[in-house]
């Protein structure tokens, strides 16, 4: 069994028979709808315990997805592969978004999928009137470079924020707080709802 922990007969159940198969590329789905919470739960159970732990992917996330309180969660789906390969989630309050989860299954990393979907996510924010997108990232994470390439800049530093239990190498780390500003100064009503419509409506 590899780092991802995917093995045995259930390893790819979450990818089977779900979603349309007519388009090959990745797209977003609203994880709060239909069977997606259940499929998210299966997706998480196919991950290694370490991946789940350090990325805070567990039952409480599934509960939040089922009954969101200001939160949004969009799944990253490869219809040609039949299902969920990752997700972006967080909170939308007024015209600001805070990303808490940006995760791709280990089998799908380093192929440009994350960059592509984050770019689309940020376009959706821009189009729906979100003014700023915030996130925090471990100072030593390679994802930090990805965010910088996409236009995020550092807005703060939380020293020692991540304890050893939040890393694969058992070392604590600082959290770098980053912000992406869209340039939108006047937001329409309910930009969070509009964002979900843009992301899941196939317009990006």
CA gap 144, 56 in Å, rounded: 18
CA gap 97, 198 in Å, rounded: 15
CA gap 90, 31 in Å, rounded: 12
Which region among 16-24, 31-39, 113-121, 186-194 touches ligand COA (by CB under 6 A)? Answer: 113-121
Task: Work out how close the CB of 185 gets to ligand COA at its nearest, in angstroms, rounded to a whole number.
Answer: 27
CA gap 63, 79 in Å, rounded: 25
145 binds ligand COA (CB under 6 A): yes
CA gap 151, 2 in Å, rounded: 33
Say which residue the tokens 């990752």 belong to: 86
CA gap 89, 67 in Å, rounded: 13
Find the binder of ligand COA among 32, 74, 97, 104 (CB under 6 A): 104
Which residue number, 138 or 194, has a Cβ lying nearer to ligand COA? 138
Find the binder of ligand COA among 4, 30, 41, 55 (CB under 6 A): 55
Tell me the residue nearest to ligand COA as measured from the CB: 114
Find the binder of ligand COA among 115, 153, 171, 193 (CB under 6 A): 115
Cβ atoms within 10 Å, residue 121: 24
Find the binder of ligand COA among 22, 60, 110, 185 (CB under 6 A): 110
Task: Work out how close the CB of 189 gets to ligand COA at its nearest, in angstroms, rounded to a whole number.
Answer: 30
Grouping H, G, I as helix, E, B as strand and the rest as coil, residue 25 is: coil
CA gap 179, 146 in Å, rounded: 13
DSSP state of 156: E
Which residue number, 39 or 129, has a Cβ lying nearer to ligand COA? 39
178 binds ligand COA (CB under 6 A): no
Task: Work out how close the CB of 190 gets to ligand COA at its nearest, in angstroms, rounded to a whole number.
Answer: 27
Q: Which residues bind ligand COA (CB under 6 A)?
A: 55, 102-104, 109-115, 137, 141-143, 145-146
């Amino acid at each position: 069994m590899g780092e991802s922990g995917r093995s045995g007969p259930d390893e790819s159940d979450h990818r089977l028979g779900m979603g349309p198969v007519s388009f090959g590329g990745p797209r977003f789905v609203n994880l709060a709808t239909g069977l997606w919470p259940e499929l998210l739960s299966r997706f998480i159970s196919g991950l290694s315990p370490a991946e789940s732990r350090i990325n805070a992917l567990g039952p409480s996330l599934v509960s939040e997805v089922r009954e969101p309180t200001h939160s949004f969660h969009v799944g990253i789906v490869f219809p040609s592969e039949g299902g969920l390969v990752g997700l972006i989630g967080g909170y939308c309050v007024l015209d600001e978004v805070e990303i808490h989860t940006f995760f791709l299954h280990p089998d799908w990393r380093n192929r440009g999928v994350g960059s592509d979907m984050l770019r689309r996510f940020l376009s959706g924010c821009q189009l729906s009137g979100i003014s700023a997108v915030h996130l925090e990232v471990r100072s030593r994470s390679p994802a930090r470079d990805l965010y910088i390439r996409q236009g995020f800049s550092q807005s703060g530093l939380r020293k020692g924020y991540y304890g050893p239990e939040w890393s694969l190498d058992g070392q604590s780390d600082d959290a770098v707080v980053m912000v992406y500003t869209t340039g939108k100064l006047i937001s329409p009503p309910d930009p969070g709802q509009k964002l979900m419509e843009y992301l899941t409506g196939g317009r990006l």
